[in-house]
Structure 1
Amino acid sequence: MDIKTAFGKAVKIKRVENDMSQEELANGAEMARSFISRVERGAANPSVTSVEKIATTLKCKPSELWVKAEGYLAG
């Protein structure tokens, strides 16, 4: 697993924990649903600004997503 895939997994798990659809996350972060889908699949390389918007919408800090992603890489 690479870092983009691990980050995408962290985003998806946090989104599901928050009982949000991709559409709801996309709308809250002011992004296209297709971009959120690509992030979750590890097919997109989100900018720092995008990561911050996603985290804010998921009601967490960007660092929380990165720590989860690092855990997926290690495990």
Structure 2
Amino acid sequence: MFMSELTIQFGQLVRKYRKEINMSQEQLALLCNIDRSYLGRIERGEVNPTLEKIYELSKVLGISPQNLLP
């Protein structure tokens, strides 16, 4: 599967901010109304999330959407 550098870096940032607030993948996925396995794929850079998901992730993580963009 092709993974772009951008999606990999995005996923790394999601993981970084999630861990900073001591939140599990399961908790974040639940609060964002997405499947935990999909969140795992986001964090590994395997999928390209929609703009709506980026905003939802940033809202739950308590950061600005810009913080998730490399």
**Shared fold per TM-score greater than 0.5:** yes
Deviation (angstroms), 1:5: 0.2
- Look up the SS of the partner of 1:27 in the other structure: helix
Question: What is the TM-score with the length of structure 2 in the denominator?
Answer: 0.91
The runs of at least 4 consecutive aligned structure 1 residues that moved more than 6 Å come to none
Equivalent of 2:54 in 51, 56, 67 = 51
Question: What is the TM-score with the length of structure 1 in the denominator?
Answer: 0.85
Per the alignment, residue 73 of structure 1 pairs with none
Among the aligned pairs, what percent are the same residue?
A: 33
Tell me how far apart the structure 2 counterparts of residues 46 and 30 of structure 1 sit (CA, whole Å).
13
Larger helix percent = 1
Tell me how far apart the structure 1 counterparts of residues 19 and 58 of structure 2 sit (CA, whole Å).
13
In structure 1, runs of 5+ residues without a counterpart are 71-75
Deviation (angstroms), 1:61: 1.0
One-letter amino acid of the counterpart of residue 44, structure 1:
V
Equivalent of 1:62 in 60, 65, 70 = 65
Tell me how far apart the structure 2 counterparts of residues 51 and 41 of structure 1 sit (CA, whole Å).
15
